[in-house]
Amino acid sequence: MQQGVTPAADGLEGKSWNVVGHIYTPKLLSPNAFIWHARIPDGTFVPPHIHPTQDEWIVMLDGRLEVEFGDDVHKAGPGDTIRMPMGIAHGIFNRSGAEATCVFGVAPSRKLFDLFTKLDGVTEPEELVRISAEHEVDFLPPPDAA
């Protein structure tokens, strides 16, 4: 990691990604940690998935998110920190009626920066799942239709 400041409006190396409708802007990358700013529109979500090699967290800046750990739903708003331990399935949902902004982080960084680079603009769910699995993020199968 290089010393210095990543300005509020900038991403590392000028990067920003559109991942499932969320805008992710990388702010810090080292082998030990990866941190990115996220704008999460109302009505969008990241389906339940597992990071088998990383702890993940979210620090809420504005808006509200819900994080589901199976049937256990946690609601978070400005100033709250959401903790998602490695190996535990979690899904992230914005059902608030407004955009949410937050800062995500993972430790160690592993392959997540490269994953977001490859997912930028991908809209096909099967392709998203395939690419994610190659980068140590495992999406759960969708629930059976009743």
**Whole-number pLDDT of residue 141:** 82
**Alpha carbons 95 and 63: distance in angstroms, whole number:** 10
**Whole-number pLDDT of residue 145:** 45
Count of CB atoms situated within 10 Å of the CB of 94? 22
pLDDT band per the 50, 70, 90 thresholds, residue 143: low
pLDDT band per the 50, 70, 90 thresholds, residue 123: confident
pLDDT in tens, 34-75: 999 999 999 999 999 999 999 999 999 999 999 999 999 999
For the structural domain made of 21-135, what CATH number should be given? 2.60.120.10
Please say if the pLDDT value at position 144 is more than 60: no
pLDDT in tens, 109-121: 999 999 999 999 9
- Domain parsing of the chain, residue ranges: 21-135
Please say if the pLDDT value at position 91 is more than 80: yes
Residues 6 or more apart in contact with residue 33 via CB below 8 angstroms: 105, 106, 107, 108, 109
Residues 6 or more apart in contact with residue 29 via CB below 8 angstroms: 1, 12, 35, 109, 113
